[in-house]
Chain A
Amino acid sequence: MTIAAALAAAVPGLDLTAPFEAAFASASRRFGKAPIGAAHVAAIRAAGLVIPDDLGQDECARGAMLVAAAPSVELVRDLVRRGDVRERQAVLRVLAALPEPARFVDLAVDACRTNVEDVFRAIACDNAFPAAHFPDAAFYQMVLKALFTGAPLARVYRLRERTTDELVRMVRAYASERRAAGRAVPEDAKLVAGDP
């Protein structure tokens, strides 16, 4: 099964011929935010998209619409810029499944600058895009922000493969800063730096 078909199959009643902008904007109301369930999660993963266990109906519907639309960078940028939190999440989760995904690296790096935890986690956690496409500096900043905000590093896809001496240095420096301030070092630092 293709990723598009697996996403669409998880959302009963999804009409991919409806006018795009309105259908995309209203998906949370129309389909709800409940998790799609383990069977659909497994099917989407088997089709090749890395997703979290609790992917919502609305995220899935929007993801299906976006993959079916084979969107331009301009359209994706517009959806992120004008989107609410759920819309942004949905876009970020399927970036890796869009044609020529490397086109989206700038907007994905920019998405990491958000202060909205759910949006940050949509790109940083359970998402194959950063490991595949982020330059080193952007990947490291994302990992540090995850440590900073408490986003679980165990869910950063292919963290181990992207870990370098420089990332280890940055995490150790963060641990040193925390200790100098008399504060606890996050447990997750160990996932990068062993015993930081």
Chain B
Amino acid sequence: MKLFDPHIHMTSRTTDDYQAMAAAGIAAIVEPAFWVGQPRTHVGTFEDYFLSLLGWERFRANQFGIRHYCTLAMNPREANDPALVDGVLALLPRYLEKDGVVAVGEIGYDDMTPAEDKVFAAQLELAKQHALPALIHLPHRDKKRGCERTLALVKDVGFAPELTIVDHNTEETLPMTLDSGCWAGHSIYPQTKMDEPRMVALVKQYGAEKILVNSAADWGVSDPLKVPKTRDAMRAAGIADATLAKIFWHNPVAFFAQSGRLDDIEAALAVDQRQLHEGNSVLRGQTPRVD
């Protein structure tokens, strides 16, 4: 069974992670642009970050047989920095047109400030203009209210719910998200957000329609194998393979295919580690793998 991790920050991960993910069956990933752990202080750092998501990181993933797509945006936390917002929003129209960009994201709320409202709405408009889906991050604090406000804003802006993922759902937000017609992402984390047994229970209660599962692995304590581990937990709990294939492959493919930029996602990706990206190889003296 091919697996898709629709939300993972590979820039922060190692080649060991890529190897383990490929070995566990992960064939495609989406890397959303997000906060990098500490605030950026220049618009130019965002531009270089976008370029690395489109360039080196995609190359790196491909070198391990994994298709890499990304979503680009000004994230909610840094949307509060007036020195950055206008400059980053001005970059987006150009970068959102690039190959491999499959949504605008992560957007949404962090502190739910007026600045976040404005940047969130502006980026939903950008998504419309570029005919892209949107990947929305639910806030960690005051989450249920944050989900209500998120869904209200999506509706007010007139953004299509079927083009929207609301991510980081919990038991309390999932019913609202599904009722709205949006797709529902779940981030399986070692301690916070969602875990495997709870995810099993949610699928048993709500089914697989519009349900997505991701690792959201990043620079913190997180696990890039949470997608295969959650699949295993569901299988052990008796959930049918057809349902698993829907949640872990067909749903994310169907959602991101709405960007028109997934290309031939179903074809296996041949690995050729003799390749270089702007003169750089992922290898350090190893024998290149060539499929």
A to B contact number (C-beta, < 8 Å):
55
Determine the distance from Cα of A116 to Cα of B38 in the docked complex, in whole angstroms: 8
Please count how many residues in chain B sit with their CB below 8 Å of the partner chain's CB atoms.
Answer: 22
The answer to whether A113 has its CB under 8 Å from any CB of chain B is yes
Which residues of B have CB within 8 Å of A138?
A: 111, 113
Are B198's CB and A148's CB within 8 A? no
> Given A137-B111, A137-B112, does the pair A170, B142 have CB atoms closer than 8 Å?
yes
Are B110's CB and A144's CB within 8 A? no
The answer to whether B164 has its CB under 8 Å from any CB of chain A is no
The answer to whether B289 has its CB under 8 Å from any CB of chain A is no
Stretch among A125-133, A153-161, A176-184 lining the B interface = A176-184
Q: Which residue of chain A has the shortest Cβ distance to B220 in the bound complex? A: A115
> Given A137-B113, A180-B170, does the pair A144, B142 have CB atoms closer than 8 Å?
yes
Which residues of B have CB within 8 Å of A176?
A: 144, 172
Determine the distance from Cα of A152 to Cα of B172 in the docked complex, in whole angstroms: 26
The answer to whether A141 has its CB under 8 Å from any CB of chain B is yes
Q: Which residue of chain A has the shortest Cβ distance to B146 in the bound complex? A: A173
Q: Which residue of chain A has the shortest Cβ distance to B142 in the bound complex? A: A170
Determine the distance from Cα of A140 to Cα of B143 in the docked complex, in whole angstroms: 13
Are B81's CB and A110's CB within 8 A? yes
**Mask: chain B, 125-156; 1 = CB below 8 Å from A; 0 = not:** 00000000000000011111100000000000
The answer to whether B77 has its CB under 8 Å from any CB of chain A is yes
Are B111's CB and A173's CB within 8 A? no
Which residues of B have CB within 8 Å of A182?
A: 198
Q: Which residue of chain A has the shortest Cβ distance to B173 in the bound complex? A: A177
The answer to whether B99 has its CB under 8 Å from any CB of chain A is no
The answer to whether A86 has its CB under 8 Å from any CB of chain B is no
Determine the distance from Cα of A180 to Cα of B142 in the docked complex, in whole angstroms: 14
The answer to whether A145 has its CB under 8 Å from any CB of chain B is yes
**Mask: chain A, 64-82; 1 = CB below 8 Å from B; 0 = not:** 0000000000000000010
The answer to whether B285 has its CB under 8 Å from any CB of chain A is no
Determine the distance from Cα of A177 to Cα of B144 in the docked complex, in whole angstroms: 8
Which residues of A have CB within 8 Å of B112?
A: 137, 141
Determine the distance from Cα of A144 to Cα of B112 in the docked complex, in whole angstroms: 13
Determine the distance from Cα of A113 to Cα of B41 in the docked complex, in whole angstroms: 14
A-B interface, 6 closest residue pairs, ranked by CB to CB distance from nearest: A144-B141, A180-B171, A141-B111, A170-B142, A180-B172, A113-B77
Q: Residues of A at under 8 Å CB distance from B?
A: 81, 110, 113-116, 137-138, 140-141, 144-145, 148, 170, 173-174, 176-177, 180-182
Q: List 22 A-B contacts (CB under 8 A).
A: A81-B39, A81-B41, A110-B80, A113-B111, A114-B38, A114-B39, A115-B37, A115-B38, A137-B112, A140-B142, A141-B112, A144-B141, A144-B142, A148-B140, A170-B145, A173-B144, A176-B144, A176-B172, A177-B170, A177-B172, A180-B170, A180-B171
Q: Residues of B at under 8 Å CB distance from A?
A: 37-39, 41, 77, 80-81, 110-113, 140-145, 170-172, 194, 198
